[in-house]
Amino acid sequence: MLDYIKGKLVSKQSVSAKGATLVVENNGLGYLIHTTSRNVALVEKEDEEIKVYTTLIHREDAMMLCGFLNKEDRDIFNILLSVSGVGMKVAIVLLDEFSGCDLISAVVRGDFKELSKAKGVGPKLAQKIILELKDKLINWQKTATIDISDINAQKDVSEVVLQEAQAVLLSLGYSEEETKAGLTYACKTVSKKDSSEEILKEALGYLAQG
C-alpha cells in the first residue's frame, strides 16, 4: 500500500510503551511508524526531512505502520514476517540486534546461536527462522536469470557460489542490474572467493550504500 513516506520528522522515541517509533508528517498527516532503536539513533534531529520505507501490518484488532531508513531492512523485515511464529515485534527485535547484512549472513550459514542473541529469540525459534528462510532465500527462482559468466571468468569465483548469492539478492527485491553490480563489486574485494556468505555480505554492504 505504502512503499515509503517522505516528510518532516516530528518526533522520535527509542524507548516507549509502543517501542521505538518515528512520527513523520507528510501533507498535513502525521504517520506513527514503528521501527528499531538502531533506526532512531541514525536520525540526527527532529524537523529534518527523512524517507522511511514502510510496511503496513493489518491485524484484526489494529493497523500499524512499520518502517526503516533503508529498503534492504524493510524487505528483510517482510521476509521475516513470512516465517510462522515471527510477528512484528520479533522481526523488529532481530533487526535491532543485527544489521540486515549480518542477519542474512547468519541465516545463510545456519548460525542459530548467533540469532539467539536477540532478546526473546530462543534456540528453537532461531532454528525455525533459519530452516524456513534459508530455503526461501537460496531456492528462490526468477524467470529472467542474470548472465554471470563474465563475473566467473574474470574473478575466479565458482558458478555455484555466485548463483547462491544471486538468488538471495533477488529474493530480497534487488533488481537484476543491482544484483550484478553488487556481485561484481564483491568479487573484486573479498579474499575468500569460495564462500557465498562472504560474497553476499560484501554485496549487501555495497548495495546498502546506494
pLDDT tens sequence for the chain (210 residues): 689 999 999 999 987 777 899 999 999 999 999 999 999 999 878 889 999 999 999 877 888 999 999 888 898 899 899 888 899 999 999 999 998 878 888 888 888 999 999 998 999 999 999 988 877 776 654 444 566 666 655 556 777 778 888 888 887 778 888 888 888 888 888 766 667 778 888 888 888 776
149-209 folds as: Helicase, Ruva Protein; domain 3 (1.10.8)
Which numeric CATH code is attached to 4-68? 2.40.50.140
- Four-way CATH pick for 73-136: 1.10.3860.10, 3.40.50.150, 3.20.20.70, 1.10.150.20: 1.10.150.20
Q: Alpha carbon of 93 to those of 36, 48, 87, 209: distances in Å?
A: 7, 26, 10, 23
Distance CA 172, CA 196 (A): 15
Sequence letter at residue 153: A
Say how many residues make up the chain: 210
Distance CA 169, CA 182 (A): 9
Q: 65 has which bridge partners?
A: 33, 56
Residue written as cell 503496513?
A: 56
User: How many CB atoms are located within 10 Å of the residue 56 CB?
Assistant: 11
